[in-house]
Structure 1
Amino acid sequence: MSVFVDDDTRVVVQGITGGEGGFHAEQMIEYGTNVVAGAVPGKGGQEAAGVPVYDTVSAAAAAEDADASVIFVPPAFATDAIFEALDADLDLAVAITEGIPTQDMATVNRGLADTDTRLLGPNCPGIITPGETKLGILPGNIFADGNVGLVSRSGTLTYQVVDNLTERGIGQTTAIGIGGDPIIGTSFVDALEAFEDDPETEAVVMCGEIGGEDEERAARFVRDHMDTPVVGFIAGRTAPPGKRMGHAGAIVSGSGTGTAASKIEALNDAGVPVGDTPEEVADHVERIL
């Protein structure tokens, strides 16, 4: 099975006439993703990446029976683009855009409470079910179909861990990039719950990093609600206190939580082995399977 997306997912690319949107739309189509339309205000009636372009997501969804979108829109306009996806009642919206102001995302999250749409991101690489579909910028060639789910705040870590797994013949059910910003749509707990409910996911890899308390909350969820084994990795062990490291959410406040040590301790207490390196993550997964 898969989590959140499969080969039946019908995708609208928001921002398809831009350089990033057009390039990655073509990459998604080449992988096999069912990209059915683009949505760009004022560009309706054109064609891009071989699919029709509509002025709004709602028009594209209605005309092409779309149920998901990928958002390649500059930060200044990304909030409106996300709300467009929510207003269209899509099942899933994937916000690739980096640099959306935190205050704007707080507004988006309040809107999410009134909709059934799932949001991935922002500032995420997207989601892939290997051999079926990918939404975002994930390099499809390193993924392989299999029985390990993966959820990560970091795109780069996703690629490294997946490459190590695939090289050992360990494929993936779905890999989910949730994004590295302080406010995101889908949390570790949301993804872990979905993997726990998927009968074909026999193990899960969770890649976290310093900053916030999402990994600690995820550890408690694993302890209290999961039978599927989980392997962890936490980036930022050597980061100096008070410094933001790469992601906007990767900053430790000094409250005693959010450090690499506190996250690793919480995961270990929940029975989750944590690899010191991506290679060690693959070692732990091999032992579990």
Structure 2
Amino acid sequence: MAILVNADTKVLIQGMTGRAGTFYADQTMRYGTNVVAGVRPGRGATRHLGLPIYDTVKDAVRETGANASLVIVPAPKAADAIIEAIEAGIGTIVCVTERVPQHDMGRVKRALQGSKTVLIGPNSQGILTPGQCKIGVMPTKDATAGGVGIVSRSASLTSEILARCSAARLGQSTTVGVGGDALHGVGFVECLKLFRDDPETEAVVLIGEIGGREEEKAAEYLCGTDYGKPVIALVVGRHAPEGRRMGHAGTLSVLGALSAEHKISRLKSAGVLVAKNADHVVDTVLTALDRK
């Protein structure tokens, strides 16, 4: 099984006719994802890459039954595109757009309240259920199906850990990139809950970093529940200078966010097995599964 997306997921792509939209739509379709339509205001009743284009998400959902969306829209309009998809009843939205203004994300967070939509991103690599569905820009070459769930804040480390797991015959149930921005949709806790309820996910790998509070929230959640599955974590940024932006907004270690060492300590106290570095993740997963 998997979380959030599978072979039956019907995907539409907002911004499909642009240069980036065309490139990633083609990659997504080549992987075998069930892409059913594109959305581009003013281009309705046309076709692109062999698929129908609609003026609005509502029209696309009504005509195709789409239940997931990939948002590849420039940053100034990305929030409007996400909110349009929420209002149309889309169940899973992936936004890969970088530099979405934070005040715009405030509007998105309000629109999500009371909805049944799960937002992944923005500034996300996306979500991948190997052999079934890819929504986003996550590489698929090394992905294999299996029982390890991965949720990550770092795009580059996601690719590395996924490849190492596959090389060790540790296939993945689903991999989720939660996004690198300070304000984003689904986080570690929400993914942990979904993986807990997935009977075929045997272990979960969290890939964390400095900044934000995802790791602390995960530790708090795990301390308060009998999770029933091993959780392995990698937290990077132990040697990053305080107060300096390291790559993206989510890694800015200010405003009360704890250092990597403090995050590691919190996770360990919650029963999480913490790998020393990327080289040790696979061995830690194997050890955890042996203990189970």
TM-score of the aligned structures, taking structure 1 as reference length: 0.97
How much does 1:114 deviate? Answer: 2.9
Match of residue 73 from structure 1: 73
1:217 partnered with 2:208: no
Unaligned runs of at least 5 residues, structure 2: none
8 A contact 1:12–1:70 mirrored in 2: yes
Q: CA deviation at 1:276?
A: 2.2
Distance 2:135 2:184 in 1: 17
Structure 2 residue aligned with 1:234: 235
Following the alignment from structure 2 to structure 1, what is the Cα–Cα distance between the partners of residues 238 and 248?
15
* 1-structure distance, mates of 2:215, 2:88: 32
In structure 1, how many angstroms separate the alpha carbons of the residues matched to 2:193 and 2:255? 29
2:237 alignment partner AA: G
**What is residue 82 of structure 1 aligned with on the other side?**
82
> Which amino acid in 2 is paired with 1:53?
I
Q: Residues 97-150 of structure 1: CA distance to partner in whole angstroms, max 9, x if unpaired?
A: 010011111111011003111111000010011011100011111100000000
Alignment partner, residue 151 of structure 1? 151
In structure 1, runs of 5+ residues without a counterpart are: none
Residue in structure 2 matched with residue 124 of structure 1 by the alignment: 124
- The residue correspondences of 1:80-229 to structure 2 (distance < 5 A) are 80-225=80-225, 226-229=227-230
- CA shift at 1:254, angstroms? 6.3
Asked if structure 2 preserves the Cα contact closer than 8 Å seen for 1:57 and 1:84, the reply is yes
Cα deviation code 1:193-248 (max 9, x no counterpart):
00011111000000011012121110121222211110001121111000111121
Q: How does 1:266-285 map to 2 (within 5 A)?
A: 266-285=266-285
Letter in structure 2 aligned against 1:13: I
User: What residue number does 2:6 align with?
Assistant: 6
Q: Residue 243 of structure 1 aligns with which residue?
A: 244
Does the CA contact (< 8 Å) of 1:241 and 1:254 recur in 2?
no
Matches of 2:166 and 2:28, distance apart in 1 = 20
**What SS does structure 2 have at the residue aligned with 1:195?**
helix
What is the Cα-based RMSD across aligned positions, in Å?
1.0
SS of 2:251's equivalent in the other structure is coil
Query: 1:147, 1:172 within 8 Å by CA — same for their partners in 2?
Result: yes
Aligned residues: 288
Output the CA distance in 2 between the equivalents of 1:108 and 1:168. Answer: 39
What is the distance in 1 between the residues matched to 2:22 and 2:83? 21
The separation in 1 between residues aligned to 2:39 and 2:154, in whole angstroms, is: 27
Please, which moves more after superposition, 245-254 or 174-183?
245-254
Give 1:49 deviation, angstroms.
Answer: 2.0
Question: What is the CA distance between 1:180 and its match in structure 2?
Answer: 1.0
Q: Aligned equivalents of 1:213 and 1:96: distance in 2?
A: 21
Q: Distance in 2 between matches of 1:142 and 1:160?
A: 9
Distance 1:133 1:241, change over 3 A: same
Distance 2:258 2:50 in 1: 45
Q: Tell me the secondary structure at the aligned position of residue 142 of structure 1.
A: coil
Q: Which amino acid aligns with 1:185?
A: G
Q: Distance in 2 between matches of 1:43 and 1:111?
A: 26
Q: Secondary structure at the match of 1:141?
A: coil
Residue 89 of structure 2 aligns to a residue in which SS? coil
Q: Tell me how far 1:19 sits from its aligned partner.
A: 1.1
For residues 185 and 277 of structure 1, the distance between their equivalents in structure 2, rounded to whole angstroms, comes to 27
2:63 corresponding residue in structure 1: 63
